[in-house]
Amino acid sequence: MNIIFKIWRQNGPTEKGELKEYLIEGLTEDMSFLEALDYLNEALVLKGEKVIAYEYDCREGICGQCGIFINGRAHGPHDHMTTCQLHMRSFKDGETIVVEPWRAASFPIIKDLIVDRSAFDRIIEKGAYISARTGTAPEANALPIPKLVADKAMDAAACIGCGACVATCKNSSAALFTAAKINHLNSLPQGKAEQHQRVQHMTAQMEAEGFGSCTFTGACEVECPEAISIANIAEMNARKLKANLLG
Amino acid sequence: MKLNSKVPEGPLEDKWRNYQLKSRLINPANRKKLKVIVVGSGLSGAGAASTLAELGYDVQCFCYQDSARRAHSVAAQGGINAAKNYQHDGDSIYRMFYDTLKGGDFRSREANTYRLAELSAPLIDHFVQQGVPFAREYGGTLVNRSFGGVQVQRTFYARGQTGQQLLMAAYSQLYKMIHAKKVQMFTRCEMLDLVVIDGQAKGIIARDLTNGNLRRFAADAVVLATGGYSRVFRLSTLAIGCNGSAIWKAHKKGAFFAAPSFTQIHPTALPQSSDSQSKLTLMSESLRNDGRIWVPKRQGDTREANKIPESERDYYLERRYPSFGNLAPRDIASRAAKERIDAGYGVGRLKNAVYLDFKHAIEQFGLDTINDRYGNLFKMYQKITGIDAYKEPMMISPAAHFSMGGLWVDYELMTTIPGLYAIGECNFSDHGANRLGANSLLQASVDGYFILPNTINNYLAGKPNAQVPSVEAPAFVIAEERVQAHIDRILKVNGNKTVDHFHRELGKTMWQECAMSRNKSGLVEAIAKIRQLETAFWKDVRVTGHDKEVNTELEKALRVIDFIELAALMCTDALQREESCGAHFREEYQTKEGEAVRVDETFLYVSAWEYNQGDFKLHKEPLHFEFVQPTVRSYK
């Protein structure tokens, strides 16, 4: 396959960026999208040019690092998929593919397609944990958790922190990410003791980081690799209301 | 140098308690004056950093990713073992210890392996308390399943995301301690050298990957939690960034490297589909619980899987290993697959795969149950291959996976450099020549949460008057200058081959000669090839850009040259060990039926290699089996 890539190049956080065009020939349908970029980078090195900086790590759809905007969609043309799981068979021979970094003020660009998502870590830092010291736990089965509760917690916990929800949201809202973590912990009996502070502190940090408000367009759920439901956001809002009244 | 494993005295079940009773403690007021560097923030690193911070130490934690949440522990799918005997099927600490020791083909240290099993039960309690959403029965109790190499159900799991969920718990604890200002976190920061002063580990040189600046960090002790090095094969199940640089630099500074050639080849990865491939994707081994593995009975059969009748299918694991069947351990299952593929029975476009079939399981348990157990794996399989595995069998193939070898550590998890610890996959101690499924998350976690935070006191308490050296000390200055010179040298080559070219060549040699099976002439040839590759790298490599910027190509180059050096040691180790054990299958040592032949009279020891000016010197830690007599490992 021959593909024309239009890729966002930006040398550093404060420098001006632009879309640059690259023709790349001899790709195969079996290649993953990231392998196609690897292939392009090898060609650039041999031409003496700087490689395109992009992120990835596990290439198994779980580490959440490979967020790229492809043809105007987070992680490319399919619903519920990470970039590393996208294969060139999803594109047509001769197609032009526009490749950009995540676009959100709270995710500043570091270089080319790499953005800084540490805002997510700072939201986590504000309460996405259960305060218990190592080595103090009671016997695990002493606290039965009905399957339906455990399953619901697991549905929310599946979030991989990739940032597709933010990138695709017209308001750059981090509501789905934050809600998923809050609902995972708050729905479990272990998480109850700190439930009100958790929802208050984490949502406050989310706002402090400059993420926009949620207006329930549902785009985040479509792009989420784990298909985390936007019902989580409604639930977070209800929990916040409750926390404000009771907390 | 005589290797002292520091295994405590007494009966197996009392050793850890005896150790703790006798080890030294540090007054909480003094702990905050002591600084500990933790390199790596996966399950072992994050667990260690957060627990050390809870204890009151001043901790600095480093990772090369943008966040600790990306560490490769995230990718483990299947589960974590614990001897809870919740299923009332006869499990116990001793049985788990025995399974692990036998699984490792009697090449691990008895006392460490026992401690691993002993601490497994409280670890599950710990994770449940942290809010890990493990699978549950309707009534609310925890569910278990079984994994390769064992006949009881002791594996706990959170759908197919167990690693992710455990890592999230550890990462949350880490960020809790960051919030409490007890841990300073350095993301996008890669350790490039270890600083040793007066024979003791006192700090690291790290490169800030956002601007390329080299930085010096000093501490009273350094803990390496940097994971495995199987990316030496290039194609592996590991994350692309996983590298061996930190442990390799530590090795070059004096830490012995143990059992380097013991690499696990995982039986259930997706087959390689082309030359351009960058990695192999793992499918959880838990699939073997319900999936049945087969190949056609006829060589080169090109029919679609569903059109091959039952009578023409060879369920070769069930045939060869009737008592364990599809649950035979990973090395056995991988080798059996290779044997069938090599004999011309492989399936798929490149004839490099075998079938993993759920037809019978779906008939027996129903689609819903199978979906509940493995739904996300089936989805992942479909995303990558475009095939619906509910309708036709999956195709799987062996792939390089976990490295059982790593830095040599004693019972305290300390390397041969005082003050330098290695935890999790980057040490060698618990799995012997083969790791059983679902023991990896376990080892990483107990090392980080339970063992290291206890044993490190013993070292630090012995240093009441020691002070963290200044980063202006000559050892730091020299180490930084050497790292800079190394970087400059790479950038200056300006040859005509990419870094990936060298990695691919290295991978091909290693996969051919030092993976599922090895032989003398192949290894000798491989060592020569690796040496040539090293020379060629310094002549022909080309890295564009400069070092004071984000330069992913330079990061890769630094890692690949370390892999090349490490590969030479792996082949040297494989050549020296003239026996077959676990993942190390020397073709010269096999029975007529193709089973491994261990040579206990000669090789009942851990090979611990000392770096010696580009060459390697062997030291031996004899393995004493006080409580279990090594037997022929049979899964028939």
Q: What is the pLDDT of residues B378-423, one digit of tens each?
A: 988 988 888 999 999 999 999 999 999 999 999 999 999 999 999 9
Residue B465: predicted pLDDT: 61
Interface test with B, best of A56, A63, A106, A197 (most B CBs within 10 A): A63
Percent of chain B with pLDDT strictly greater than 70? 100
Residue B377: predicted pLDDT: 87
Closest-CA distance of chain A to residue B605, Å = 34
Q: Is A18 helix (H, G, I), strand (E, B) or coil?
A: strand
Nearest to B441 by CA among B15, B47, B51: B47
Closest-CA distance of chain B to residue A167, Å = 17
Contact between residue B456 and residue B421 where contact means Cβ atoms under 8 Å apart: yes
Do residue B133 and residue A140 have CB atoms under 8 angstroms apart?
no
Among all residues of chain B, which has the CA nearest to that of A52?
B552
Residue B212: predicted pLDDT: 98
Q: Which CATH architecture has domain A3-110?
A: Roll (3.10)
Of B131, B278, B384, the CB nearest to A85: B384
Residue B527 has pLDDT above 90, yes or no: yes
Closest-CA distance of chain B to residue A14, Å = 13
Work out the burial of residue B123: count CB atoms within 10 Å of its CB; fewer than 13 is exposed, 13-18 middle, 19 or more buried. Answer: buried
Contacts of A51 in chain B (CB under 8 A): 544-545, 551-553
B265-400 in CATH: which number?
A: 3.90.700.10
What's the average model confidence in pLDDT over A128-150?
96
Closest-CA distance of chain B to residue A145, Å = 4
Please list the residues that pair with B195 across neighbouring strands.
B203
**Catalytic residue selected from B31, B115, B288, B330:** B330
pLDDT digits (tens, 9 = 90+) for A72-114: 999 999 999 999 999 999 999 999 999 999 999 999 999 999 9
Residue B385: predicted pLDDT: 86
Q: Strand locations in B476-526, DSSP E?
A: none
Do residue B449 and residue A135 have CB atoms under 8 angstroms apart?
yes
What's the average model confidence in pLDDT over B542-562?
98
What is this structure's pTM? Answer: 0.96
Per domain, the residue ranges of chain B are 265-400, 474-622
Do residue A140 and residue B67 have CB atoms under 8 angstroms apart?
no
Q: What is the 3-state secondary structure of B348-404? A: CCCCCEEEEECHHHHHHHCHHHHHHHHHHHHHHHHHHHCCCCCCCCEEEEEEEEEEC
Could you tell me the pLDDT band of residue B594, with boundaries at 50, 70 and 90? Answer: confident
- CA B290 to chain CA centroid, nearest Å: 25
Residue B379: predicted pLDDT: 87
Of A58, A89, A188, the CB nearest to B131: A188
Q: Is B188 tagged catalytic? A: no
Among all residues of chain B, which has the CA nearest to that of A26?
B276
Among all residues of chain A, which has the CA nearest to that of B384?
A85
Do residue B164 and residue A160 have CB atoms under 8 angstroms apart?
yes
Do residue B239 and residue A128 have CB atoms under 8 angstroms apart?
no
Do residue B276 and residue A62 have CB atoms under 8 angstroms apart?
no
Among all residues of chain B, which has the CA nearest to that of A140?
B125
Closest-CA distance of chain B to residue A225, Å = 11
pLDDT digits (tens, 9 = 90+) for B280-307: 988 888 899 899 999 999 999 999 999 9
Among all residues of chain A, which has the CA nearest to that of B170?
A129
Contacts of B158 in chain A (CB under 8 A): 154, 157
Contacts of B383 in chain A (CB under 8 A): 61, 81, 85
Contacts of A147 in chain B (CB under 8 A): 135-140
Contacts of B69 in chain A (CB under 8 A): 64, 121, 124, 161
Q: What is the 3-state secondary structure of B31-63? A: HCCCEEEEECCCHHHHHHHHHHHHHCCEEEEEC
Contacts of B65 in chain A (CB under 8 A): 57, 63, 65
pLDDT digits (tens, 9 = 90+) for B201-258: 999 999 999 999 999 999 999 999 999 999 999 999 999 999 999 999 999 999 999 9
Q: Which CATH architecture has domain A118-132+144-246?
A: Orthogonal Bundle (1.10)
Contacts of B129 in chain A (CB under 8 A): 130, 132, 136-138, 140, 190
What's the average model confidence in pLDDT over B528-539?
98
Residue B275: predicted pLDDT: 77
Among all residues of chain A, which has the CA nearest to that of B185?
A121
Residue B358 has pLDDT above 80, yes or no: yes
What's the average model confidence in pLDDT over B571-577?
98
Dist. CA B245–CA B231, nearest whole Å: 11
Contacts of A146 in chain B (CB under 8 A): 136, 138-140
Count Cα neighbours of B143 within 13 Å in the Cβ-side half-sphere.
20
Among all residues of chain A, which has the CA nearest to that of B54?
A133
Per domain, the residue ranges of chain A are 3-110, 118-132+144-246
Of how many residues is chain B composed?
636
Interface test with A, best of B498, B546, B551, B556 (most A CBs within 10 A): B498
Nearest to B164 by CA among B285, B287, B72, B241: B72
Nearest to A93 by CA among A2, A25, A214: A2
C-alpha distances out from residue B534 to B135, B502, B503, B531, B540, Å: 48, 9, 11, 5, 10
Could you tell me the pLDDT band of residue B489, with boundaries at 50, 70 and 90? Answer: very high
Q: What is the 3-state secondary structure of B292-312? A: EEEEECCCCCCCCHHHCCHHH
Do residue B175 and residue A128 have CB atoms under 8 angstroms apart?
yes
Do residue A118 and residue B69 have CB atoms under 8 angstroms apart?
no
Closest-CA distance of chain B to residue A115, Å = 9
B474-622 in CATH: which number?
A: 1.20.58.100
Residue A247 has pLDDT above 80, yes or no: no
Do residue A58 and residue B126 have CB atoms under 8 angstroms apart?
no
What's the average model confidence in pLDDT over A205-229?
97
Closest-CA distance of chain A to residue B509, Å = 21
Residue B38: predicted pLDDT: 98
